[in-house]
Amino acid sequence: MASINSTMSNGHTSNGHAPNGTPDEGQNQVKRTMPMRHATIGDIAKLLNAELVGDAKIIITGVGGLENAEPGSIAFIEHERLLKTALSSGAAAIIVPDTMAAKMRRVERKVGKPAVLTGNPRLAFAKVMEFLQPSQLPAPGIHPTAIVEPDAYLGEGVTVREHCYIGHHAHIGNGVVIYPHVVIGDGAQIGDNSILYPSVVIAHHVNIGQRVRIHSGSVLGGDGFGYVMENGKHRKVPQVGTVIIEDDVEIGANVCIDRATMGATRVGAGTKIDNLVQVAHNVQIGRNCILCGQVGLSGSVIIEDDAVLAGQAGLRDHVKIGKGATLGAKAGIMNDVKAGDFVTGSPAVTHKEFLRMEAAARKLPDALRTLRTLERQVRELQARLGTVDGNSDTIDEE
């Protein structure tokens, strides 16, 4: 791969040679984007390899939700109960489940609104969004205010925006987009076609795979939280490992993924991490996992493939979450969770047990009222029995 010859603030290109361009080239970057596309609903059906019911020539100019769909837009539904709303919306066409094929043929003859039939309307809608509204990315080139060390390597078509820093021996793959104020440390590797949004920090020797998106404010490769007591004080344990992010991972804003003490903290291919998530040192996250907002993982946690962690789930150190397990919102995980299990609560229990406990808890006010009534009745009965006993004693004495 050839390195980009583009102007840098230190007067050298990424391969150490003198620049060919002028400073203005970096400042006058244009968007590398496609204009908004228009397409017929017939073309969209072909794009999705889906069946079309209705007039194939109707033009689609954008996408919209059912509440705000404008004329010319396309919307989607996943349930038949929303069909009436979809038909009365401003959308020119709708994407619907293919299980509704027979009904849509009858409906379309009455209202004239085309429908695309597919097994996964949400996925189809995402593909239409990508087609009609392509992502806007800045043009390749290195902005004059960026600092790129002479021994850093930049592949073909790389974008480095304002006030970025790329360290010694860093390796930036083809088509990478680096937005303003990003810091990439010495020896870090960024795979092809990855995007780093503003103010991301990639610490030294962190390895990022291909097609990874890292949103603003996230820090990858900060020191793990490791200390040992010495003479009543906390002594820092050196964190000499790294972080490995595999291909097709997306990391939300203000996420922290800590460097391993030794070895690597790892995030598996296809995993998606929401905003404000903490991943501690030596955590191992499998492939295609979902971590929702404010999840917290302590050190050396293992999460196997396809697991789902709902918002604010918190995991103690060294626990293992089995393949395909689901942790409910605010779950407090103190022990291992078996593959496929669904747990909720803090401390977490199986979801069925949690629901029984929750149902019982909701009955507590009534149970307490009943208990107080019974206590009062017992006291009254004891009082009457005491009177009877006293009378009996008097009779006996007589």
Question: With respect to CATH, is domain 139-353 assigned 3.30.450.20?
Answer: no
Average pLDDT over residues 149-166: 98
Tokens representing residue 160 in the block: 């480095």
The more confident residue out of 153 and 10 is: 153
Which residues, 6+ apart, have CB-to-CB distance to 368 below 8 Å? none
CA 315 to chain centre: 17
Which residues are catalytic, by number? Answer: 281
pLDDT digits (tens, 9 = 90+) for 216-253: 999 999 999 999 999 999 999 999 999 999 999 999 99
Mean pLDDT of 115-136: 93
Q: What is the pLDDT of residue 353?
A: 87
Label residue 351 by pLDDT band (50, 70, 90).
Answer: confident
Among 220, 218, 224, residue whose Cα is nearest residue 203: 220
pTM: 0.82
- pLDDT over threshold 60, residue 121: yes
Region 42-66: mean pLDDT is 95
Quote the pLDDT of residue 8: 36
Out of 1.10.3720.10, 3.40.1390.10, 3.10.310.10, 3.40.470.10, the CATH code matching 39-132 is: 3.40.1390.10
Share of the chain above pLDDT 90, in %: 77
DSSP 3-state of 309: strand
Residue 357 is predicted with a pLDDT of: 84
- The two three-digit tokens of residue 128, written as one number: 């239409």
Mean pLDDT (the chain) is 89
24 confidence band (pLDDT: 50, 70, 90)? very low
Per-residue pLDDT, 1: 37
| Model pLDDT, residue 350 | 85
- How confident is the model at residue 356, as a pLDDT? 85
Taking 50 as the threshold, does the pLDDT of residue 32 lie above it?
no
Query: Domain map of the chain by residue range?
Result: 39-132, 139-353, 366-398
Higher pLDDT, 342 or 348: 342
Q: HSE on the CB side for 196, CA within 13 Å?
A: 34
The pLDDT value given to residue 54: 95
d(CA 96, CA 84): 12
| Mean per-residue pLDDT, 153-158 | 98
Percent of the chain with pLDDT over 70: 88
Q: Which of the two residues, 163 and 26, has the higher pLDDT score?
A: 163
Sign of CA dihedral 111, 112, 116, 118: positive
